[in-house]
Amino acid sequence: MAQLWGGRFTKETEQQVYDFNASIGFDRRLFHQDIEGSMAHVAMLAKQGILTGEERDAIRKGLEEIRRDVDGGSLEIGEQYEDIHSFVEAELTARIGEAGKKLHTGRSRNDQVALDMRLYTRQRVKDTEKLLAELLKVIFSTMVQNVGTYMPGFTHLQKAQPITLAHHYGAYFEMFRRDLQRLEDLYGRMNYCPLGAGALAGTTYPLDREYTAQLLGFQGPTLNSMDSVSDRDYLIEFLAALSMVMMHLSRFCEEIIIWNSDEYRFVEIDDAYSTGSSIMPQKKNPDIAELVRGKTGRVYGDLMGLLTMMKGLPLAYNKDMQEDKEAAFDAMDTTADCLALFTGMLRTLKFRKQRMEESARNGFTNATDAADYLVGKGVPFRDAHGIIGRLVLYCIEKNTSIDRLSLEELKGICDRFEEDFYEAVSLKSCVEKRLTTGAPGPAAMEEEIRACAGYLEGLDWDGMGLERFTWEERKKDQGGKEDE
């Protein structure tokens, strides 16, 4: 009986197993890195006398042609191959014959995939650094132009004390600067070459690992071959750093969504970055900000998946590790898209400065300063706190604000109030008196802006292939200039 369907069943199962096992569907993305790694490998093999110069040249020519044909579209990376490494090797052997079979000398797919993934990730770290640098430039422009733009600062989403838009944006500058520094930091740690680790225990061929590492632009070879093939720490570090970027973007998005609401109307998102409703004609929705906030969970998920996949693995390589790719690619792509779109949205965001200032005037954001005023007149702070509390209550009943009360009304509550009170609690002086390092006062803000400019000036714009940062040019920048 079994034989009646056994053959067929076995075949189907085999196909399923094959499909389940294959990674070509997603590791095709590593094609260029696979070629690049193989080029360096054969150069080293020939230098060490393991391959002849002729064999090396034949292999290199074959690899170059495969690259040209795939890039040009005349050669397809077929689904019939198990993974990208098998594709390249099979194609090479089909083209150049015997010499092609020698490409894999002294190498295992374990160190090969470790190398490909590291080369790929290294580039994505650099790409993310660029996106962050662009975002920092936009944030900086808004800071420079809004040192005198007043707005309420919040705690518990309740109006607390007046700040400036420059100050608020400055907080995000700090977050994204730390994100960029985290990337630079992990780059330094990951930039070592695993090629030559073999399957797990090195090889018996006299490989020159320093040489391949150097050819591929690494700091040097990795130290331990077991670790080389089973280390995915750099991916986890990168995804953790990306999760942090997303968390920062998401917080910023949340604020923009609130500021863009009809209740706040602090900002207006550009039409190009908003969408409408199919039923409610009046709607202009902050979809991009919401999507970035939503996609944050997805990047966290990628990180969790990777951490969980790694937690039970004995040394050295295990097939589980093939699962690193889809999660890592997804986190890299998602964060890159979010950074690019968010930066565009921010660059075109319009501020309703009058409305922000009005909001800072109302809501008793000067209550602390009013209490401090009485302290200046010799009232103990605890008593001053109580007096201003009563004053606030009085204002709420009268539907007015502290600085709109007459001196008579003020004196009715406490006789220490004088004419100079109005100046002391004006929005301008509430902000300008805040001069401690890191505070929103103009002198402190100028210091902060100078430090931010110094940081941006120190970035390697040429190396990133980006337009260089200059402070002068930033002042002219359109970012955040618009008013209502």
**277, 278, 359, 429: the active-site residue:** 277
Q: Exposure of 444 by Cβ count < 10 A (0-12 exposed, 13-18 middle, 19+ buried)? A: middle
- State the binding string over 19-48 for ligand ARG (x if CB under 6 A, else -): ----x---x---------------------
Nearest distance, CB of residue 313 and ligand ARG, angstroms: 12
Q: Which 3 state secondary structure label does DSSP give 73?
A: coil
Give yes or no: 243 in active site.
Answer: no
The closest residue (CB) to ligand ARG is 322
**Does 317 interact with ligand ARG (rule: CB under 6 A)?**
yes
Reported as type and span, the H/E element at residue 426 is none
Give yes or no: 277 in active site.
Answer: yes
Whether 268 and 261 have beta carbons less than 8 Å apart is answered as: no
Closest CA to 429 of 374, 372, 359: 372
Pick the binder of ligand ARG from 50, 113, 147, 193 (CB under 6 A).
113
Nearest distance, CB of residue 301 and ligand ARG, angstroms: 20
The residue to which tokens 């422009």 are assigned: 141
Cα–Cα distance, 237 to 189 (Å, whole number): 10
**Does 86 interact with ligand ARG (rule: CB under 6 A)?**
no
Q: Which stretch binds ligand ARG (CB under 6 A): 106-114, 127-135, 256-264, 414-422?
A: 106-114
Q: Which stretch binds ligand ARG (CB under 6 A): 108-116, 329-337, 410-418, 434-442?
A: 108-116
> What ranges in 191-264 are assigned the alpha helix state H?
209-215, 225-230, 233-260
Pick the binder of ligand ARG from 55, 83, 134, 231 (CB under 6 A).
83
Whether 123 and 62 have beta carbons less than 8 Å apart is answered as: no
> Please, which of residues 322-341 interact with ligand ARG by CB under 6 A?
322
Nearest distance, CB of residue 327 and ligand ARG, angstroms: 12
Cα–Cα distance, 335 to 131 (Å, whole number): 10
Pick the binder of ligand ARG from 35, 42, 63, 110 (CB under 6 A).
110
> Could you give the C-alpha distances from 37 to 123, 218, 322, in angstroms and in order?
14, 12, 18
**156, 168, 406, 426: the active-site residue:** 156
Whether 356 and 349 have beta carbons less than 8 Å apart is answered as: no
**Could you count the other beta carbons within 10 Å of the beta carbon of residue 231?**
21
Q: Which stretch binds ligand ARG (CB under 6 A): 131-139, 236-244, 318-326, 402-410?
A: 318-326
Q: DSSP class of residue 459?
A: S
Q: Which stretch binds ligand ARG (CB under 6 A): 10-18, 47-55, 107-115, 251-259?
A: 107-115
Q: Tell me which residues are annotated as active site.
A: 156, 277
Question: Which residues contribute to the site for ligand ARG (CB under 6 A)?
Answer: 23, 27, 83, 109-110, 113, 317, 319, 321-322
